[in-house]
Amino acid sequence: MKIVVLDGFAENPGDLSWEGLEALGELTVYDRTDPTDEGLILARIGDAEAVYTNKTPLCAAVIAAAPQLAFIGVLATGYNVVDTAAAAARGIPVCNVPAYGTGAVAQHTFALLLEICNQVGHHSTAVQAGRWAQSPDFCFWERPLMELAGKTMGIVGFGRIGQAVGRIARAFGMEVLATGSRPTPEGEAIARYVPLEELLARADVVSLHCPLFPGTARLIRRETIAQMKPGAILLNTGRGPLVDEQDLADALNAGRLYAAGLDVAVTEPLRADSPLLGAKNCFITPHIAWASRESRQRLMDIAVENLAAFTRGETVNAVNL
C-alpha cells in the first residue's frame, strides 16, 4: 500500500516517529503542501491508496481525480478540509482522530486564564528588567491580580473538553454553568446547564468549546457581547470563527470585556492586520493548545490504528460512512 502524508510537520516536527505508518506500507511524508495548489496536491497523492491530511484540502475534484484512493485519514479531530460526501460517494472512509487532546486543551485553557489573572509573564519580564530590584517595597505589581475562587465559569459546549475544563474550574472553587446540545449525567455532576443567554449574563469567565457549525459561527459578536457580564473574560481554545474578531477587539478596547485569552483565529496564521493585535488585555497563543508531545503521540497512535483497522477490513473513527 502506498501512503502519503500531505502536511505532516505540525503533527511531527521531528520529535515523533512515523514508524507505525511505515509498517503498513510505502510511506511518503511531506512537511507542507500548498493548500491553494490543486495540481500539486494531486501530484503528491499520485497513485496512493491512503492519504493523510491535516489542513490540506481534499475537495471533490481532487478525490475524483485520484483513482487509487481508498482511505483518507485526518491528522486532527476537525475534518472540514475534506469533502466527506464526495468521499462517501466513492466508498472512501474519512477517519479522524477524536479525543486525543482533551487534557492538553483543558490545561491550555487554564494557562490562558491564569496568565490573565496572575500576569506571570508580565511580572517575570519586569523582574528580569530590574524593576523589582529598584522597588522600595518587598513586593510590587504593575497590573491587577485576580482570584478565581467564588467566580462563575460559563462553558459553551460541554463535551469531553468542556467537561475537563469544568472539573478544573471546580477545583479552583468556581461555580460552573454550561450550555450544550443535550445535558448528560456526567455533565450534570460538574455543572448546571442553563440557556446561553443566562450563561452569558452570569459568567465571569466564558470559555468556548463548541463545534463550528453555521449556527455557531460568530457566536460571540457585538450582540452577544452586550449580553455578557460587564468586565467578563472570554476564552477561545475551540475554533477561531466562533468569534467576530473586530467586535471582540472593540469590546476589549472599550473596557466592555476585561480580557480575552485566545488560541485560535479566524484566519491562521493570524493576519498581520488583525484587529486583535494590539487590543487591550488580549492574550493570544498560536494554535498550540493541542500540541503537547503527549497529545501528538496519542494522535499519531490513533491515526495509525485507523489505517491498520482499514487494512483488516474494519472501519474505525469514520465520519462519513
Q: Residue 10: exposed, middle, or buried by beta-carbon count in 10 A (0-12, 13-18, 19+)?
A: middle
Residues annotated as part of the active site: 239, 268, 287
Cβ(304)–Cβ(50) below 8 Å = no
Cβ(269)–Cβ(276) below 8 Å = no
- Please give the full DSSP string across 73-124, using - where no structure is assigned: EESSS--TTB-HHHHHHTT--EE---SSSHHHHHHHHHHHHHHHHH-HHHHH
Residue 130 cell numbers, joined: 530590574
Owner of C-alpha cell 492538553: 104
Alpha-carbon dihedral sign for residues 295, 11, 74, 270: positive
The interaxial angle of helices 160-171 and 102-118, nearest 10 deg, is 40
